[in-house]
């Protein structure tokens, strides 16, 4: 059985790291989410989540973040090895079920970057 945890080492916590990822990473978008991927030196998969106030009130933003963390926890094998991935929710995101979020994020993560 594979380990399904979300450890502290797998989180992007510093604002300076977010700035580097935004500046130099590869951007991909879907209907409700945007992902930015950039390689790291630790060799582990790390996740950062950004949900702006335009996405809704605190309850809606917290729910979105919980669902994104749960998706990462259960689907780590889909994320590129040795990369930092920042997932951003778009503004005015409709209330989505976990199943809808999984389907959209799976398509987004597996899609090649547009050039």
User: What is the spatial distance between Cα 94 and Cα 110, in angstroms, rounded to a whole number?
Assistant: 23
């209907």: which residue's tokens? 31
Residue 64 lies inside a defined structural domain of this protein: yes
Residue 4 lies inside a defined structural domain of this protein: no
Residue 5 lies inside a defined structural domain of this protein: no
**Domain tally for the chain?**
1
Strands of the sheet containing 26-29, edge to edge, are 26-29, 33-39, 83-89, 46-51
Q: What is the pTM of this model?
A: 0.88
Tell me which DSSP letter residue 11 carries. B
User: What is the spatial distance between Cα 94 and Cα 86, in angstroms, rounded to a whole number?
Assistant: 20
Domain span at residue 54? 13-107
Domain CATH number, residue 86: 3.30.230.10
Residue 112 lies inside a defined structural domain of this protein: no
Q: Encode the chain (115 residues) as per-residue pLDDT tens digits.
A: 566 777 888 899 999 999 999 999 999 999 999 999 999 888 889 999 999 999 889 999 999 999 999 999 998 888 888 899 999 999 988 888 999 999 999 999 988 655 3
Helices (H), ranges, 1-115: 15-24, 58-74, 98-110
Residue 65 lies inside a defined structural domain of this protein: yes
Residue 2 lies inside a defined structural domain of this protein: no
């996740």: which residue's tokens? 47
Residue 71 lies inside a defined structural domain of this protein: yes
């Amino acid at each position: 059985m594979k380990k399904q945890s979300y450890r502290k080492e797998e989180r992007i916590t510093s604002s300076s790291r977010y700035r580097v990822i935004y500046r130099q990473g590869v951007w991909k978008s879907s209907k409700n989410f945007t992902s930015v991927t950039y390689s790291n030196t630790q060799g582990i998969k790390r996740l950062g989540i950004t949900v702006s106030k335009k996405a809704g009130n605190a309850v809606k933003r917290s729910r979105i973040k919980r669902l994104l963390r749960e998706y990462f926890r259960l689907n780590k094998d889909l994320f590129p090895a040795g990369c930092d991935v920042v997932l951003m929710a778009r503004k005015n995101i409709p209330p989505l079920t976990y199943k809808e979020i999984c389907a959209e994020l799976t398509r987004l993560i597996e899609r090649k970057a547009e050039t």
